[in-house]
Structure 1
């Protein structure tokens, strides 16, 4: 027994080893990341109306700065996410393109763009100077460019430029600026096989591969020989077709070859054998066309293939199957044309696809975050009408979609199939009306449908027949109207039915009758406040919360049969925001009731019985809130008249999305549903429905860089060749301007191509501004009459999801006039100081001379005074002597007189 087991084991091993294996290993394939794209992925288009020079676009490249460049049949277009800058041949400008009919495009490592023209030769563009120069074919120069029709370009690892033309292959040695040409030679089997070169490619080993119309060639630089691989009708392992148009070495080392006529080939370079993948009209998982143009591997390891008539293909190495993206004239989000050509993936992860007749297509990952469904003629998996009024998810994960005019749709997400139920006047078992207001699946799994004009419908799951319960004025147990707007199930299995204009009914499914009816009574304050009911919610105690068209919110207690009314009061900000209430959500865990109203979002605290309102000024995109759903992650999602909004009750913040983010439209209706198993949310509107998983709504992680794109002086654009702007502003390390050129406008852009209209910018001029400017979409900054000095211009941008990137800086100097320069000011200061010193010296000299004169005059006067004093003193002395003599004489006379008198008496 053990022997037989060993035999079976060895036999199994032999079978496994003998079983045909793919050329690339499953372990390699398993390393590929999951596909981000599917057949419902939506394309955005750019064409002539957007500024593109032509709808025939033959290549696309994202340059080192981040710009996207497109070669067209009418010139070269550069795109920055907002608009195109176009370059065309100008016979009066020697620095322009040599031709407008352009093909190949590459950027060399030094930043130059190389453009192949047909005719027009080889053009080289320098982004720093914004100028072109060209290499042209000269019949008199055998060592020049061999032909003026350039179809293929390659920069090899040594920096040489390889040029594929319609008349041979050429290699440009950039150091010597000389060409080496390779031409077909019928006598040399190791020469170039055909004159027309379709594509050039260098693999990781440095081998150069040449795609010709006579097969695939491998170039050996050591011998200058070419090895040819061709189709052999007798060898199934040979190349599938000789017209080769593209090559690609994927991340796992697999080498792919695209042909025009034989589909896709996987080459084993060691053996020189090929495995072909061809179009099979009976299998839609095969490649869509055998005529291929180009191959591209994205960052996830998926291989993109452009075709001549089959649209775009995405090859999944995991399953070896192809996803087709083809043009649908009824779908504006399909690829623009089935003749696709060039493919690239930009730095943010968006895929760009050019077309020979349909312009440019973009696949943006951000735009795919939301799925949409709408009516598309001829699409059996589409809706019967885009006017979606009601949505309901079933336990099996399927989706019921009630439309307003197109009947009832039942969609199975697993199969992608849609089943439509419509009214058929000849069939009494059909849906009674094609206008659906609301739906409900009861505890028994029965589907109930409230219609406009057709009463209440019940779907018999087995027979797929409908039973209608309609208005019958002769039957007191029948509805009083055929307009059934809202439904809710009571704890006992009966249905609460809200009508348009006829109040609230309690319907018994067992008997098919209305057992209770409640309408507004103006004399009774505890009656229903309004008879048009938009929404119904039953709480855990069996009470019914009621949203009315003009009567606010009602709470009905079946035990007391009384209504408690909550209405807006203009003088009370803690009341309901509006009496028009479109939808309700009851959060019994938080003890809150949420109301979507015509004037914002309202929250009722069931404990305090007070309301708090959120409006446009708090962050809502619109005050008209139509629907409301929880996401199971603590957030509320709101369908409004201006897009979709996510509200976080924890921090009371809103995050808004609109049609630019991928919604079906900006306007939403009452219809909304959540699948509790998958977490998927569905919101309906008059132009379709939007569905998404909130857990998958990741912000765009791409950090945008800002490029400075232009400079205006006194509102006049400045060319890079101008004296004041020697090269393009984005390459300029510093901007220096004279004092009389001090009113400037700086233009800038953020090269985030995913919903670029939502990019926001902030800037400031250090040395002038005190803070950043408010975030805005404007892409220019203007400053007038800047004083001489040094400044630094700072600018940054946020992408479509508000993620801010790095700051771009530009030092700016306003050069002062010569009379304000430091040397002049120092010279003037020295001159003034010298003049002052000279003046001071002169004045001091004058003062000293005056002092000397004064001293002399003082001395002279002093001498005169001294002489005068001396003379006066002598006079005084003489007078004194004379006075003394006179006095002595007088004394002597008196003495003599007295003597004489005495003598006479005696």
Structure 2
């Protein structure tokens, strides 16, 4: 437990209580200070340090002790039948100090107690059948205070929100669990925690629950003998919930998991997407046996209606607001035929149908309630398969399976082809196209997905493309879908996950099964964008649905810490004889001799919800001017010359946004003794002495000759 002064309190199964002060790095055995006082201190159920440097000690049968650690004095509160203002029970389970400094006490059999320090007595809050705003049960197993000032109380069957100003309780009954016994659920008490979104999590009856002010209590998970029963809870700064268990280790829950809804196929993509995505009654969705999910095509009209077919002449017109459908069958029966559909700027719904060696464009006439064949038709090369269509005021744009992109002019009837040209980097990146969509914010842009060559941003005016591939941030170059939303994003389904790309800046954010996708591999023509903004995509195993507005970027700013140090390929452990006196995460300067200059430094982001999504960058000032980005949390430097360096390490959050926190480590490589300044002074003295000696010897020789 961490108290208000930053000290850490540690208890053991043997009943020991130790306080650790991180500033002085000193452990203090608190219970030894109580041995000379005439109060109980062994067998406590609960310890609570308050803001006045007092320790409150709760006992199962011995009442409550308040120990002032400044004055070393203690006060013992016990229930007295002849004293109505004494504490209501000797069976104490929890203690809490609120924002105003008031002490609240939860008992096992006498409800809630408020301690009036000025008067020295307790106020009692107990069940009252005359008012629904009273405490519902006597036994209180846990307490916490919310930022609003409300107290949260946990009883056997209820969670209560208590307003200290009004004295009113608002209680929610926990979901019933017939298997829960009366004894096993409160063995460890109830722990309340609140995440950054204001959601409250708590454990009770071997289960984990969640609730907010706008929603009732929801069951998150059950604890079993296999998972271990909950003994403690912690929510860290990145909204990861850690659950300590009674013998099964620590379990982790990501509370920031994105809002993906997944379901495995029940009847097939085209049926499931209409039942689960559009919410049509299952008995109204009847595709015949000739339908093919890979031939599923749709368009949205200007009234929000959905027009869909799946390779046959049966065409559905669905009111997405009322969830009612009607069949608008094509006048010429067909099966196993791809039938692209589109809605033009005037709101007219178009359908492309191949007949007698030519493609004809039909439109739907609402007043006549029938399909009308227009004068628009064209011929293309044999075996050309047109897979999708976009209609604008001037032309129909047609994506093909193997022959690139066609433009059919509505006025002249001319057909123009855009294909891949190896020597033209602004041409289509491939002739094998998988998807085609218009940009709702730019009438001159088309988004084209290819097989294995990434995404193309196609300019209608120039006929040129901007190519986007894995090198630009896509998870994969097989593009099954490219769906524009109303928030300037493009949602791209690939072979290796989902990508969100900003249509103006081209910045990307990738999602995988770690983020909640059912599977990373999507499928051709298995997608639907509804008028309300919901996106549904199908893959090999089932459907993933989401609302783009609910998929928020990670705003957490993780710190990064050094974890291991290898010198000359050997792990360095801290010890008094080593040049690493303390653990690597605790040092900020490292001094090494000249022959210990091969360094490998490992590090980690202090964010634990999706560790695979964190990226890293580092640089060694004195060697590098620019950051080195990596997905591997390590930095390697060989044969560092003697000198002074600074290693900088930085981490991104799970959305790829770099944190402002940078870890610094000063590295000093000392030179060998023969290159030190005093060695050079010695060299100078030796040379000077040698010269002096030589000169003196020569002078002596000359004097001897003259004499």
Query: TM-score, normalized by length of structure 1?
Result: 0.62
Q: Name the counterpart of 2:308.
A: 449
- After superposition, residues 728-807 of structure 1 pair within 5 angstroms as 728-739=583-594, 741-767=596-622, 769-804=623-658, 805-807=660-662
1:420 aligns with 2:317: no
For the residues of structure 2 that align with 1:253 and 1:444, how far apart are their CA atoms?
A: 48
Q: How much has 1:665 moved relative to structure 2?
A: 3.8
For the residues of structure 2 that align with 1:504 and 1:673, how far apart are their CA atoms?
A: 25
Gaps of 5+ in 2: 177-184
**Number of aligned residues:** 676
Per-residue deviation, residues 669-697 of structure 1 (Å, max 9, x unmatched)? 32445556x65555444432333335x66
For the residues of structure 2 that align with 1:175 and 1:822, how far apart are their CA atoms?
A: 55
Per-residue deviation, residues 267-318 of structure 1 (Å, max 9, x unmatched)? 536x8x4424131879xxxxxxx988233345555544443266423231xx
1:726 aligns with 2:581: yes
Secondary structure of the residue that 1:564 maps to in structure 2?
strand
Query: Structure 1 pair 690/463, CA: closer, same or farther in 2 (3 Å)?
Result: closer
For the residues of structure 2 that align with 1:657 and 1:512, how far apart are their CA atoms?
A: 42
C-alpha RMSD of the superposition: 4.9
Counterpart contact for 1:129–1:727, Cα < 8 Å: no
For the residues of structure 1 that align with 2:323 and 2:191, how far apart are their CA atoms?
A: 52
1:352 aligns with 2:352: no
Query: Structure 1 pair 813/353, CA: closer, same or farther in 2 (3 Å)?
Result: closer
Counterpart contact for 2:328–2:370, Cα < 8 Å: no
1:439 aligns with 2:291: no
Counterpart contact for 1:456–1:482, Cα < 8 Å: no
Q: How much has 1:809 moved relative to structure 2?
A: 1.5
- Picking from 153, 173, 179, the partner of 1:279 is 173
For the residues of structure 1 that align with 2:125 and 2:592, how far apart are their CA atoms?
A: 63
For the residues of structure 1 that align with 2:78 and 2:420, how far apart are their CA atoms?
A: 87
- Picking from 374, 380, 390, the partner of 1:537 is 390
For the residues of structure 2 that align with 1:313 and 1:729, how far apart are their CA atoms?
A: 39
Per-residue deviation, residues 224-243 of structure 1 (Å, max 9, x unmatched)? x6626353556646543232
Q: How much has 1:360 moved relative to structure 2?
A: 3.6
Counterpart contact for 1:384–1:409, Cα < 8 Å: no
Q: Name the counterpart of 1:375.
A: 263
Query: Structure 1 pair 591/313, CA: closer, same or farther in 2 (3 Å)?
Result: closer
For the residues of structure 2 that align with 1:785 and 1:740, how far apart are their CA atoms?
A: 8
Per-residue deviation, residues 720-745 of structure 1 (Å, max 9, x unmatched)? 45443333333324333455544443
Q: Name the counterpart of 1:263.
A: 159
Counterpart contact for 1:442–1:489, Cα < 8 Å: yes
For the residues of structure 2 that align with 1:208 and 1:460, how far apart are their CA atoms?
A: 61
Counterpart contact for 2:588–2:664, Cα < 8 Å: no
- Picking from 450, 472, 484, the partner of 1:597 is 450
Query: Structure 1 pair 703/572, CA: closer, same or farther in 2 (3 Å)?
Result: closer
Per-residue deviation, residues 759-817 of structure 1 (Å, max 9, x unmatched)? 222223333x2234521122222344544443322222222233322322222334456
For the residues of structure 2 that align with 1:460 and 1:707, how far apart are their CA atoms?
A: 55
Q: How much has 1:546 moved relative to structure 2?
A: 1.9
Counterpart contact for 2:77–2:86, Cα < 8 Å: yes
For the residues of structure 2 that align with 1:499 and 1:780, how far apart are their CA atoms?
A: 59
For the residues of structure 2 that align with 1:501 and 1:164, how far apart are their CA atoms?
A: 89
1:207 aligns with 2:60: no
For the residues of structure 1 that align with 2:9 and 2:444, how far apart are their CA atoms?
A: 67
1:409 aligns with 2:294: no
Secondary structure of the residue that 2:585 maps to in structure 1?
helix
- Picking from 355, 359, 362, the partner of 2:253 is 362
Per-residue deviation, residues 572-624 of structure 1 (Å, max 9, x unmatched)? 55543222222223459553443222122234443444455433334433222
Query: Structure 1 pair 786/124, CA: closer, same or farther in 2 (3 Å)?
Result: farther
Counterpart contact for 2:313–2:332, Cα < 8 Å: no
Query: Structure 1 pair 740/573, CA: closer, same or farther in 2 (3 Å)?
Result: closer
Counterpart contact for 1:116–1:151, Cα < 8 Å: no
1:704 aligns with 2:558: yes
Counterpart contact for 1:342–1:355, Cα < 8 Å: yes
Query: Structure 1 pair 536/836, CA: closer, same or farther in 2 (3 Å)?
Result: same
Query: Structure 1 pair 124/560, CA: closer, same or farther in 2 (3 Å)?
Result: same
Counterpart contact for 2:192–2:203, Cα < 8 Å: yes
For the residues of structure 1 that align with 2:390 and 2:150, how far apart are their CA atoms?
A: 59
Gaps of 5+ in 1: 1-104, 283-289, 330-335, 377-382, 389-401, 471-476, 521-525, 857-906
Asked which structure has the greater CA Rg, the reply is 1
Secondary structure of the residue that 1:839 maps to in structure 2?
helix
Q: Name the counterpart of 2:663.
A: 808
Secondary structure of the residue that 2:607 maps to in structure 1?
coil
- After superposition, residues 196-345 of structure 1 pair within 5 angstroms as 197-214=92-109, 215-219=111-115, 227=122, 229=124, 231-232=126-127, 236=131, 239-268=135-164, 273-279=167-173, 293-299=190-196, 303-308=200-205, 311-316=208-213, 322-327=216-221, 344-345=234-235
1:626 aligns with 2:521: no
For the residues of structure 1 that align with 2:502 and 2:22, how far apart are their CA atoms?
A: 47
For the residues of structure 1 that align with 2:363 and 2:382, how far apart are their CA atoms?
A: 24
Secondary structure of the residue that 2:42 maps to in structure 1?
coil
For the residues of structure 2 that align with 1:854 and 1:338, how far apart are their CA atoms?
A: 104
Query: Structure 1 pair 627/302, CA: closer, same or farther in 2 (3 Å)?
Result: closer
Secondary structure of the residue that 1:260 maps to in structure 2?
coil
For the residues of structure 2 that align with 1:210 and 1:114, how far apart are their CA atoms?
A: 20
For the residues of structure 2 that align with 1:854 and 1:789, how far apart are their CA atoms?
A: 54
Per-residue deviation, residues 846-870 of structure 1 (Å, max 9, x unmatched)? 55555454444xxxxxxxxxxxxxx
For the residues of structure 2 that align with 1:344 and 1:448, how far apart are their CA atoms?
A: 50
Counterpart contact for 1:307–1:338, Cα < 8 Å: no
Higher relative contact order (CA 8 A, sep 6+): 1
Q: How much has 1:408 moved relative to structure 2?
A: 2.9
Structure with the larger strand share: 2
Q: Name the counterpart of 2:418.
A: 566
Secondary structure of the residue that 2:263 maps to in structure 1?
coil
For the residues of structure 2 that align with 1:734 and 1:446, how far apart are their CA atoms?
A: 66
Counterpart contact for 1:410–1:419, Cα < 8 Å: no
Counterpart contact for 1:498–1:536, Cα < 8 Å: no
Secondary structure of the residue that 1:813 maps to in structure 2?
strand
For the residues of structure 1 that align with 2:41 and 2:219, how far apart are their CA atoms?
A: 39
- After superposition, residues 386-405 of structure 1 pair within 5 angstroms as 388=269, 402-403=270-271
Counterpart contact for 1:266–1:275, Cα < 8 Å: yes
Q: Name the counterpart of 1:44.
A: none
Q: Name the counterpart of 1:15.
A: none
Q: Name the counterpart of 2:179.
A: none
Per-residue deviation, residues 316-369 of structure 1 (Å, max 9, x unmatched)? 1xx6x535243499xxxxxx9998775554334x2526375895453444x33x
Counterpart contact for 1:305–1:315, Cα < 8 Å: no
